[in-house]
Amino acid sequence: MRARTLPALVAVALMGCASEAPRKPQVATSQLLFEQQYPGGTLCTTNDCFATVTVGANCAVTVTPQVLGVATGVSDALLHWTIAPAAGVGFTANGINPKDPGAWNREFRNGRRVSATEFTWVDKNKLDGAPPKRPYGYNLEITQGRTTCRVDPTIINDY
């Protein structure tokens, strides 16, 4: 009896292995590639791109995402920075200051302080003859009470 049961169990076990669907390879999307290259970063694929600014005690400022990518093909994206609710915190008049104004001004326009807690820029995201994946550093400047706080995030255009 034992001799007959073993081959039957082996056959059933092998049938189960044969019927398992093969695993599909993971397709690398632009978002996935961006996140691998810039951990914690986000690739914006629409004409409205958002970053949230959080302010803790003693000017502990974080921007999420720290690296904001704007996908190839997106043009005239409106970039929004919004400060998470916190008492006594707001953007300075300058709010978002480019580290390299010459390069910045070729691709960005109409920077404005919409309110104490929102700042926007229009990102053309196209620069004829320029290479893709162009980084733009900027200083984000806010006040916390009477103290000016700064943090230095990055935008990657044409990713």
Q: Which CATH number fits domain 28-157: 3.40.120.10, 1.10.1740.10, 3.30.300.180, 2.60.40.420?
A: 2.60.40.420
Strand residues in the chain grouped as ranges (E): 42-44, 48-56, 60-64, 67-70, 77-83, 89-98, 108-115, 118-123, 134-144, 147-151, 154-157
Residue 121: strand pairing partners: 79
Residue located via tokens 């092998």: 14
**Cα diameter, the chain:** 88
Long-range contacts of 2-9 (CB under 8 A, 24+ apart): none
What is the predicted pLDDT for the residue at 147?
95
Q: What is the DSSP letter of 13?
A: H
Question: What is the residue-averaged pLDDT of the chain?
Answer: 87
**Overall average pLDDT of the 87-114 stretch:** 95
Does position 102 have pLDDT exceeding 70, yes or no?
yes
pLDDT in tens, 51-100: 999 999 999 999 999 999 999 999 999 999 999 988 899 999 999 999 99
Nearest-angstrom CA–CA distance, 34 and 29: 8
Residue located via tokens 């082996």: 10
What is the predicted pLDDT for the residue at 25?
53
Nearest-angstrom CA–CA distance, 72 and 119: 23
pLDDT in tens, 3-60: 554 444 344 444 444 445 555 555 568 889 999 999 999 999 999 999 999 999 999 9
What is the predicted pLDDT for the residue at 39?
94
What is the predicted pLDDT for the residue at 86?
82
Nearest-angstrom CA–CA distance, 150 and 107: 23
Residue located via tokens 């733009």: 136
Residues 6+ apart with CB under 8 A from 108: 98, 121, 122, 123, 124, 136
